[in-house]
Amino acid sequence: MAVSNLAMGSAEISEIVAGLSADQKQISPKYFYDERGSQLFDQITQLPEYYLTNTELGIMRDNIDEMFAMVGKQASLIEFGSGSSLKTRILLEHVSELAAYVPVDISSEHLHASAQQIREQFPHVDVLPVVADFTQAFALPKPTVMPVRNIIYFPGSTIGNFEHDMAVDLLRVMYQEAGKGGALLIGVDLQKDADIIESAYNDSAGVTAEFNLNMLQHLNRDYGANFDVDEFAHSANYDEDKGRVVLELVSQADQSFAVGDTAFDIADGEAILTEYSHKYTLDGFASMASTAGLSVEKVWMDAKQLFSVQFLTRL
Ligand code: AVJ
């Protein structure tokens, strides 16, 4: 079992080794999400300091009728990333007469389990899961009912994980998948007081620290690494100039570790970058979207303007 896991992960191992060989050691945030990491992320979304999820949910609840009016009837709702969230359920409950719901995820197991749950809860919805890496163009399934338009749904400010050029590339894939007459509904976290942002990534219960450190456990378990997890510490800082949170794992000693056959040295105080979480201004996001051929038609926010849900159409 462990051996076949390693064999299946050889492309990933090369990617991990390349990231750790760079001047700034780094590991992609996608390695947060093994089973334990997904559980920890669910816990994060319920932390009092982590304003993102609850604020976005509130924005959805408060504006769902207006959102439905913009989506229209007989649309195909295409969700980039996991399709089991509460936000998706709010949409499916209120957006009646959907032609189809198409969750797109790279993890087939997770995707099919959540698709099945959605089918049970919404038996009238044509649920057509697609296993794909959504950063690349992929083929859309043909629903039984011909959709009037495609709506790409990308909640959670996951767009914030991508640096500017990669975010534009991803928005271009969405533009393309939306097709003629298509639109995007996307959750976008906003720039705000640095203390609010830093607390969201340095919670008092230490869940985010555990989430960050779990990445090393995940690599030890599934990718033949041998990190001494106790010798690393969680760090999260908001870089106000760049408008992004930088998550790192900081080495607590001069030490070495290996990933598969490749050995690495890391100095005391040296960091491994694990995640960027970009925060946007409304103008900054609109200009990034326009580079990808998209125009912001509508922005919904909470009263404190912490978070936004935005409706974008093709220019
Ligand atoms: C799922 C990428 C939106 O950036 O806030 C939460 C991930 N990292 N706490 C975020 C995360 C640390 C989250 N995203």
**C-alpha count within 13 angstroms, C-beta hemisphere, residue 176:** 13
Q: Does the Cβ of 152 fall within 6 Å of ligand 1?
A: no
Closest C-alpha to ligand 1, atom 3? 158
Strand 271-278 vs strand 244-251: parallel, antiparallel, or unpaired? antiparallel
Q: Does the Cβ of 275 fall within 6 Å of ligand 1?
A: yes
- In contact, 304 and 52? CB cutoff 8 Å: no
- In contact, 285 and 296? CB cutoff 8 Å: yes
- In contact, 29 and 161? CB cutoff 8 Å: yes
Q: What is the per-residue pLDDT across 194-240, written as a single tens digit (0 to 9) for each? A: 999 999 999 999 999 999 999 999 999 999 999 999 999 999 999 99
Strand 130-131 vs strand 100-105: parallel, antiparallel, or unpaired? parallel
- In contact, 145 and 74? CB cutoff 8 Å: yes
Give the ranges where the chain is alpha helix by DSSP (H): 2-8, 10-21, 35-45, 51-71, 86-94, 108-121, 164-178, 194-200, 207-222, 282-291
- Which pLDDT value is given to residue 85? 80
Atom of ligand 1 nearest to the CA of 200: 9
Residue of higher predicted confidence among 81 and 278: 278
Q: Please tell me the pTM assigned to this model.
A: 0.94
Confidence of residue 2 (pLDDT cuts 50, 70, 90): very low
Question: Which tokens in the block code for residue 134?
Answer: 């959504």
On the question of pLDDT at 66 being above 60, the answer is yes
Q: Does the Cβ of 208 fall within 6 Å of ligand 1?
A: yes
Tell me, what amino acid is at 35? E
On the question of pLDDT at 7 being above 90, the answer is no
Question: How remote is the CA of residue 282 from the centroid of ligand 1, in Å?
Answer: 20
